[in-house]
Structure 1
Amino acid sequence: MGASRRRLNRRKVVLFILIILAAFWGIHHFTATSPRLKSAWNKIIFTSNNNVAIAVYSPKTHRTYSSSNVPNHKFHMASTVKVSVLAGLLVKQDGVLSSHQRSLAKQMIEASDNNSTSELFDDLGGQQGLQSTFNQFGMKDSTADSSWGLSTTTAKDQIKLLNNIFYKSNLLSADSQQYISSLMSNVESDQIWGVSASSDNFALKNGWLENGNEKWIINSIGYVKNSNGTSYTIAMYSDKNQSMQTGEEVLNQLARVTKPILN
């Protein structure tokens, strides 16, 4: 009886030590990662003439990291809203799309086709349906517009959506998650920038729009999986870019400096 108690007590001590070590590692990794990311990002963000925001979620630390040179600014979503449209429609229809809707979804995500988006946007319920989608995913800083590309959001809000696609979700089934991920992993070559600049193993949806005083709106959201098995979700938004090319390059730079820190 005494020996059994001693063994039980030893196991409790070992378990306690393991818990403490795990907690210490989590805190250490977070405190080490956060300033490195901020420093790397801010060298790019605060030397840009455009408005830029980035947010990244690491499942290793269970933390979202973010930075922006316009902290309270909301960005027009352009074509990145198409991920919200598809996710919202899958939630609305319990994961079941008609063959026609699937054909439209493929065109919407992979080719960024606007006509397909408008049809699925109507199926979702238009502006009201999109706002309902934002609300369901806890995207409190996102506002739907009747012109879907002019809906506004923040990089951190997009991380909430992306985490529901690539990690745990109470809204999307595993099949729905895989379906969205597969489309985002198969975008056409004109979308291979932004999130994809740092990796060959990615899923993304980019957005670009020339819009008056905002000049070029250039956005990129998605997921990266590293060769060592680690992964992260990432959202980058910008406007007031002088050209599409200069906006893309800023996002490419941010994506490139992010990967080695989260690897």
Structure 2
Amino acid sequence: MPHRPSPLSHPQSAARRRPHGGRAAVCAGVLVATLATLLSAGTLHPAAAATASARPDAAPAATALAQRDAGTARFLALVKPQRKARVTAAVLDLDGTDRKPTVYGDDTPYDTASIVKVNILAAALLQAQDAGRGLTKQERSHAEAMIERSDNAAANALWRRIGLASGLDAANRRLGLTSTKGGPGAKWGLTRTTASDQIRLLRTVFPTDPASPAGSTALNETSRTCIRTLMTRIVGEQAWGVSAASGSGWALKNGWLQRSSTGLWDINSVGQVTVSGHHYLVAVLSDGNTSMKDGVSLVERAARAAVSMATAH
């Protein structure tokens, strides 16, 4: 019987090798959608629908909702999740004017698996900054092993050092994450997060606007450089995921976890990719995959689709 890894482990040999408005606006949006449905069913006169949609606060909400739903439908048609698998992708063009990512799929929480290791390192660096120091030699060694090789023993050590979930959550409040909750006890791999929150984390690491002051993130430049550098040194057998969407460069961290209760896989990938001179932050979260291979393929299709759709705008 094949060994089934615990929530904190992942067989590296299994990885596929690859080269390196407010309440009123919301309510109004729902009203417009309802009215449109009634009209299409022939139960509402066009004049009544026109009167309702003429409200200035209703039209933008309805348009945004329609655009989001259309984008998600196109994304899922391109990605084609199989069986019980679900997937969400978020992408942000760092060289564009938008400050919020575009999200494809439901922006609901997923288990992080090993992508949380970037978050653990960010918390450790933030605590070191507070103490007026850099990482110790041992902490640096743990950080390198944890990010470059996804070493779980190193992650365990730094997870304890930052104070487990409470330490992670405290750091995340300062880093601007709003939908991430540290895993119970020693189970850092069961931290819950959303794709949009992973983009928030990546924005604290990768420069988003040359005109922004250096103090726009809680992490100083030395800390940000440390994380960025390690994310470009991922070992070859783990260099899959968002890198599939890259044209000329990438920095990433992946996570993979087989659930003992179902045998299904959580497969995630986050990072920065460069395509045609543009730098994109990308987060792809998935679960319910029948195998690690299927999950990696799904995540890579999702990364390519999300970035392709972003470049088309």
Please say whether Structure 1 and Structure 2 have the same fold, judged by a TM-score greater than 0.5.
yes
Unaligned runs of 5+ in 1: 1-29
| Contact 1:37–1:258 (8 Å) recurs in 2 | no
CA–CA distance in 2 between the matches of 1:132 and 1:45? 36
CA–CA distance in 2 between the matches of 1:137 and 1:151? 16
CA RMSD of aligned residues (A): 2.2
Could you tell me which amino acid in structure 1 is paired with residue 205 of structure 2?
I
Among 294, 300, 303, which residue is 1:246 paired with? 294
| Contact 2:81–2:87 (8 Å) recurs in 1 | no
Gap change, CA 1:37 and 1:201, over 3 Å in 2: farther
Q: TM-score, normalization: structure 1?
A: 0.80
Could you tell me which amino acid in structure 2 is paired with residue 240 of structure 1?
G
CA–CA distance in 1 between the matches of 2:198 and 2:273? 15
Could you tell me which amino acid in structure 2 is paired with residue 161 of structure 1?
L
- Kindly state the Cα deviation for residue 35 of structure 1 after the two structures are TM-superposed: 8.4
**Pairs within 5 Å for 1:1-263:** 38=72, 40-45=74-79, 47-49=81-83, 50-59=85-94, 60-62=96-98, 63-68=100-105, 71=106, 73-94=108-129, 96-145=134-183, 146=185, 147-168=187-208, 169-199=216-246, 200-211=248-259, 212-213=261-262, 215-228=264-277, 230-263=278-311
Residues 191-200 or 38-47, more deviating = 38-47
Unaligned runs of 5+ in 2: 1-63, 209-215
CA–CA distance in 2 between the matches of 1:192 and 1:112? 11
CA–CA distance in 2 between the matches of 1:40 and 1:109? 33
More RCO (CA 8 Å, sep 6+): 2
CA–CA distance in 2 between the matches of 1:252 and 1:37? 18
Gap change, CA 1:177 and 1:34, over 3 Å in 2: farther
Q: Percent identity?
A: 33
| Contact 1:40–1:257 (8 Å) recurs in 2 | no
Partner SS state of residue 178, structure 1: helix
Q: Deviations 1:197-223 (Å, cap 9, x if unpaired)?
A: 122400000000001237100000000
| Contact 1:218–1:237 (8 Å) recurs in 2 | yes
CA–CA distance in 1 between the matches of 2:205 and 2:254? 16
Gap change, CA 1:249 and 1:119, over 3 Å in 2: same
Bigger fraction of residues in helix: 1
Gap change, CA 1:150 and 1:139, over 3 Å in 2: same
Partner SS state of residue 180, structure 2: coil
| Contact 1:210–1:216 (8 Å) recurs in 2 | yes
Could you tell me which amino acid in structure 2 is paired with residue 90 of structure 1?
L
Q: TM-score, normalization: structure 2?
A: 0.68
- Kindly state the Cα deviation for residue 174 of structure 1 after the two structures are TM-superposed: 1.2
Could you tell me which amino acid in structure 1 is paired with residue 193 of structure 2?
T
